[in-house]
Structure 1
Amino acid sequence: MPESQEGIKQNKRRKHFICLIAVLCLVGVVVLVAVGVMQSTSMQRNMKFGIVLDAGSSHTALYIYQWPAEKMNNTGLVEQLTSCNVKGPGISSYWRNVEQAGPSLRACLDKAKQSIPKEQHGETPVYLGATAGMRLLRLQNPAQSEKLLQAVETFISSYPFDFRGARIISGADEGAFGWITINYLMGNFGTVSAGGDPDTLGALDLGGASTQVTFIPNNVVKSPEDSKFFRLYGRSYHMYTHSFLCYGKDQAMKMLLQSLVVTDNGTISSPCFNDGYEKLINVSAFYDSPCTPDPPRTTHETVKLIGTGSSKECRSHVSQLLNHSSCNCSTCSFNGVCQPPIWGKFGAFSAFYYVMDFFSKHGPLKNLDQVQAAVERFCNMAWQEAKHMYNMKEKYLSENCFSGHYILMLLTEGYNFTGSNWNSIQFLKKIKGSDAGWTLGYMLNLTNMIPAELPYTETLMNEASFLSIMVIFSLCVLILLLLAFLVMKRKLCGVEQGATLGTA
């Protein structure tokens, strides 16, 4: 009888011990899971937001950015939350109807209100940067451009955000902010290439009214007006940047069409439009910009544009847009503008991306020869065949022959890329979910969110601490499981021994 009572006591002790081990194992597993979850999501709790409106020549786009509030001055993770394309033309097109410019932004600003928590509206900065379209309007009519900006500011100020003004940014700033954006998103700041040079991408931007080229040259920039200096994450960057006003895709096409001869019956023929394409154009549209200041060459109010679809002739016409008659430096781009030799890798975005994406629809284009062949095939295609083959708006489809030759001329005869370094260009739309362009760099600069040193790690703890905790608790759980196994094994052995004695 005493032996039976002792066995009962031992069983109770074993049960209590096993229960204790089970509880400790559960606690260990919970800690492991909790630390892992907190480590991966710790910086997602409290977000800050910023809004930038890109008021371009052909359209306006609104971008909403977010970043962890805890890292306001040490951020390395500003990312694009969402974007909104404003319906209608760019704000510079409203210069005759200034009161309509602000309301054109309503739908996108309303979307911003819905996308950002209401309690954070008042602390969300909003910036509007106007680019080449407004730069042209300022040249043409300074008073009207100022009135237009004031009207837009008044409308945006009616929203509950922290509106910090609208301004026309210079071409050099547009190029520099685009360079900051793509290198920030690619994580290039603070890194160094094998040769000891800053490992950054040059930036190639093509809009409707201007184009920008920005890169770190391998020698000194001789023209001070084309030189920019930044110190980012503890490194100094001396860059070359130049903006060509009037050489955006839309304004370049206007210059091309203006140069064509109008016949007595009011028609113009262009090899840069597919054979069979026809369109009526108001003559005043040729001369509504400082880029096309010459007086009309015809008394007709409208002319009919007729496409003749010749790739070779189109290339010749487009080449004449770039003037190579003079250069006072060792190397130039075009129009007598000094440019250091192209060097390093580049990211090309905006219209560069969209045009190249069109010509890549039937397969990747691996080199310059393949790009030229794709453009030639499309230009020599009949208009009806082109409409049947491509499902897109006729306005954009009809311009692709010109656009293809224009970016080829701009990159090769303009910026001096060749077949040997063509593949150094990456055509970019988004980088890690954020649009490539100048807006993110603009916001980072104005919110003073580019620190001099590298950003903190966006985690609850550093990697060493995290790994130490995970290893220690994992070992504890394994030891507890081993103890439980030994106790259970000992109990089973005791049961088997008792059964054997009972049988005997």
Structure 2
Amino acid sequence: MSAQREMKEKNPWHTPATIIITVIGVIAIVALVTVAVLQNKPLPKKYKYGIVLDAGSSHTALYIYGWPAEKVNDTGRVVQVHSCKVKGPGISSYASAPLNAGESLKVCMLEAKDQVPSKRHQETPLYLGATAGMRLLNIENSTASDGVFQAVSQALQTSPFSFQGARIISGQEEGAFGWVTVNYLDDRLKQGLETTGALDLGGASTQISFVSDNYDGSESPKNSVTFRLYGNDYNLYTHSFLCYGKDQVLRMTLAHQTQSGPATVLDPCFHRGYTAIKNYTVLYDTPCVSDRKPQPAPASFNHTGTGDFQECQRVVRNVFNFTDCKYSRCSFNGVFQPSLQGPFGAFSAYYFVMNFLNLTDTSTPLEDVKKKITNYCATPWEQIKEQYPHIKQKYLAEYCFSGTYIITLLTEGYNFTSENYPNIKFIKKIKDSDAGWTLGYMLNLTNMIPAEAPDKPPLPHGGYVSIVTIIAILLFVLIIFSLRPIWPRCSKRPQII
């Protein structure tokens, strides 16, 4: 018993003062670490939202985007949270009945109302951007174009969202914002990486946008757009070719084949066995070909397919002008284009056509791609219909033409070769968000991408907590050792047993 008493007297850790200091120190450490963890704990995310309607030539689509609301100056990561394809054709098709254009949007607007929390409705911006279909209608009949915009604006103003207006976006904007979308979603802008070019193909226009080291914008200023994003400057080459979307090019190729007003057209871009009666008035009812209608001509013609890729490519080449160029280099139709650089993302109709043809893998040699399209075009129409019974025949009949046009546009129009064709990646989505101009458009209008790189905390949350914990332990150890002078005095105090 006396031995145990002697050990207690010699051990300073058994003194009341040391025990109290130890307990207080432990409590202090726990409190310090707890405060650090709670203070820096990621909070449950609250989101803000934005809505963009893409009023294209063939259809309208609605996209809802969301981002963390607590980020300073709304610099949080923007993601697509919902999309809705409007039933029916594009709004430009309602020129003679504009009220129907507004009515067509209601189903998707109801979906948006359900997808966005009601407390966010009034603060959620809503935009409608119209592309080449409305550009053509505005050229052809500006009064009808204004009527359509008035109708869709009235319909959208009745929604609970903050409607910011409906307008035609320029071809340059469409190309530039598509480039922003692709590079933003791929985190290339924030990290200052080499950017990806954007290839967009719609029904009425097509866009090409990319950064080239040998292009400073001086040779063709109208094709230049400058961005300063996250502290980096980008001098972007971009051009939009109106009438060179796949639907309008199809009309141009048919217009070329019907210049003499024949009653029958043997078309190599359609399968053998395909036949349909086409109306001359409908074919030429677009500004892209309206001035070429043959006079006189019968009311209709028999459109018959022959299924020949090589001949189809020859017909498609007729819509391009490869000879006139006043610049150091051109793509086609006398339009300046610098040398291609870097990887490219090809989306919209590029993806859908090449995906149908099972040609999205660009590691396939270009010559093999052409052979596969050749074989597809040569397949009889009856066999094609049997292979794809669930696809509408109107769309099914055009894949031979569309595939031929895409390859011709890329290789002979934009000058991709067998060497750099693998640099193209056919994409539909990037990180669950659709590739296209709408996200870039909203980011620009809401100033969501800062010109300068946002400031970052010097340490991540985990690293911060770890350092605080280590420092707290070190401080506690130092305090204990600093009390060593009083240990002998404490140990000499008489103990009452």
Instruction: Give the distance between the partners of 2:295 and 2:308, measured in 1 at CA.
Output: 24
2:195 counterpart of 1:200: yes
Contact 1:216 1:239 (C-alpha < 8 Å) held by counterparts: yes
Q: Deviations over 1:288-344 (max 9, x none)?
A: 110012224564333332111111111111111111121111110001111111122
Contact 2:180 2:440 (C-alpha < 8 Å) held by counterparts: yes
2:222 counterpart of 1:228: no
The alpha carbon displacement at 1:453 in A equals: 2.0
Instruction: Give the distance between the partners of 1:98 and 1:141, measured in 2 at CA.
Output: 13
Q: Which residue of 2 aligns with 1:379?
A: 377
Give runs of aligned pairs for residues 18-57 of structure 1, distance below 5 A.
39=41, 42=43, 44-57=44-57
Unmatched segments (≥5 aa) in structure 2? 3-13, 15-22, 474-497
Q: Which residue of 1 aligns with 2:263?
A: 266
Instruction: Give the distance between the partners of 2:76 and 2:371, measured in 1 at CA.
Output: 42
- Which amino acid is the alignment partner of residue 276 of structure 2? K
SS in 2 for 1:122: coil
Q: Which residue of 1 aligns with 2:243?
A: 246
The alpha carbon displacement at 1:268 in A equals: 2.0
Equivalent residues, number: 463
Give runs of aligned pairs for residues 438-457 of structure 1, distance below 5 A.
438-455=437-454
Instruction: Give the distance between the partners of 2:346 and 2:67, measured in 1 at CA.
Output: 26
SS in 2 for 1:101: helix
**Residue 406 and residue 181 in structure 1: after superposition, are their counterparts in 2 closer, same or farther (change >3 A)?**
same
- Which amino acid is the alignment partner of residue 148 of structure 2? L
Contact 1:32 1:473 (C-alpha < 8 Å) held by counterparts: no
Alignment TM-score, normalising by the size of structure 1: 0.83
- Which amino acid is the alignment partner of residue 383 of structure 1? W
The percent identity for this pair of structures is: 50
Alignment RMSD (CA, Å): 3.6
- Which amino acid is the alignment partner of residue 165 of structure 1? G
Instruction: Give the distance between the partners of 1:313 and 1:120, measured in 2 at CA.
Output: 56
Q: Deviations over 1:224-250 (max 9, x none)?
A: 111111111111111111111000000
The alpha carbon displacement at 1:163 in A equals: 0.2
Instruction: Give the distance between the partners of 2:228 and 2:409, measured in 1 at CA.
Output: 30
- Which amino acid is the alignment partner of residue 382 of structure 1? P
Instruction: Give the distance between the partners of 1:235 and 1:462, measured in 2 at CA.
Output: 21
Give runs of aligned pairs for residues 396-475 of structure 1, distance below 5 A.
396-455=395-454, 463-470=459-466
Alignment TM-score, normalising by the size of structure 2: 0.84
Contact 2:184 2:190 (C-alpha < 8 Å) held by counterparts: no
Instruction: Give the distance between the partners of 1:114 and 1:456, measured in 2 at CA.
Output: 35
Q: Which residue of 2 aligns with 1:148?
A: 148
**Residue 72 and residue 125 in structure 1: after superposition, are their counterparts in 2 closer, same or farther (change >3 A)?**
farther
Give runs of aligned pairs for residues 148-227 of structure 1, distance below 5 A.
148-192=148-192, 199-217=194-212, 218-221=214-217, 222-227=219-224
Instruction: Give the distance between the partners of 1:132 and 1:187, measured in 2 at CA.
Output: 29
- Which amino acid is the alignment partner of residue 183 of structure 1? N
Contact 1:262 1:298 (C-alpha < 8 Å) held by counterparts: no
Contact 1:365 1:371 (C-alpha < 8 Å) held by counterparts: no
Unmatched segments (≥5 aa) in structure 1? 3-12, 14-19, 194-198, 478-504
Range with bigger deviation, 258-267 or 158-167: 258-267
Instruction: Give the distance between the partners of 1:371 and 1:365, measured in 2 at CA.
Output: 10
Q: Deviations over 1:206-233 (max 9, x none)?
A: 1100011111122323111111111111
2:312 counterpart of 1:287: no
The alpha carbon displacement at 1:450 in A equals: 1.4
Contact 2:362 2:422 (C-alpha < 8 Å) held by counterparts: no
- Which amino acid is the alignment partner of residue 311 of structure 1? F
**Residue 236 and residue 380 in structure 1: after superposition, are their counterparts in 2 closer, same or farther (change >3 A)?**
same
Instruction: Give the distance between the partners of 2:146 and 2:262, measured in 1 at CA.
Output: 41
The alpha carbon displacement at 1:265 in A equals: 8.3
The alpha carbon displacement at 1:454 in A equals: 2.3
Q: Deviations over 1:406-449 (max 9, x none)?
A: 01111111111101111111111111111110001100111111
2:80 counterpart of 1:80: yes
**Residue 263 and residue 135 in structure 1: after superposition, are their counterparts in 2 closer, same or farther (change >3 A)?**
closer
SS in 1 for 2:138: helix
Contact 1:228 1:240 (C-alpha < 8 Å) held by counterparts: yes
SS in 1 for 2:121: helix
